[in-house]
Structure 1
């Protein structure tokens, strides 16, 4: 059995196959998933698993260098937005690498998800609780 925090086989495979600058989206239960992008559906019920729980595990398993967030997330759901920023700050401190954070309109964010290698759907029911991670390298 794996020793690392991530036990979900599809997520483990995804992380193992990511290359530099690949993008993955972690989203709330309502974000539309483009038909040509792989969907990894974790949603069990309202709030399970949460957006932040999923972000936390993915950050422990993969190296990122960039983050894309919808402008509306900060405005409509400031508590969850702040929690995401705290996770990102912790990641920067642990890795010693500065993360690039880009904000787009929600409409542009949805279009950008078409470039994701996969979209990970959580049980989160907080508006705009979505993020795109751009993968980095560990060296």
Structure 2
């Protein structure tokens, strides 16, 4: 057991987050995302809501502040300017939790799938709201 860590951060997820370097990306995926066929590094958190995972991850991982798009979500097919409620929730969490808050940028659905395949790892959540997918780019952990 460890203190002061969100219990959602399983040993496997902590290992992945600690192993990631500056600029590496992690996908927080909803329950419908084709995670297993998109990565060799998959952490399953079935039954856990994706916003809870985003908050837990950002409690220990900085967002990259050297790029314009450290947080990206999947666009709604046919409605690229519409922001789903789950993504609005992610934005609130980023604004509240990230040490370098950033506006979530959107990516066309199939482009998002291709970007997710290049990510360091994917966390498959139990999130049932569609379009509940988010890519986060790790920033630099600065000295205290």
Q: Is the 8 A contact 2:39 2:121 kept in 1?
A: no
Q: Is the 8 A contact 1:74 1:81 kept in 2?
A: no
Aligned to 2:16, which of 14, 17, 25? 14
Q: Which has the higher helix share?
A: 1
Q: 1:78 deviation in Å?
A: 2.5
Aligned to 2:67: none
2:41 paired with 1:38: yes
- SS of the residue corresponding to residue 128 of structure 1 reads coil
Q: 1:108 deviation in Å?
A: 0.7
Q: 1:2 deviation in Å?
A: 1.1
Q: 1:100 deviation in Å?
A: 5.7
User: In 1, Cα distance between the equivalents of 2:86 and 2:115?
Assistant: 21
Structure 2 unaligned regions, length at least 5: 65-69
Q: 1:56 deviation in Å?
A: 0.8
Name the TM-score, length of structure 2 as normaliser. Answer: 0.82
Q: 1:74 deviation in Å?
A: 6.8
Q: Which has the higher strand share?
A: 1
Q: 1:63 deviation in Å?
A: 1.1
When the two structures are aligned, how many residues end up with a matched partner? 131
Q: 1:5 deviation in Å?
A: 1.6
2:86 paired with 1:80: yes
User: In 1, Cα distance between the equivalents of 2:81 and 2:48?
Assistant: 21
Q: 1:14 deviation in Å?
A: 0.6
- SS of the residue corresponding to residue 83 of structure 1 reads helix
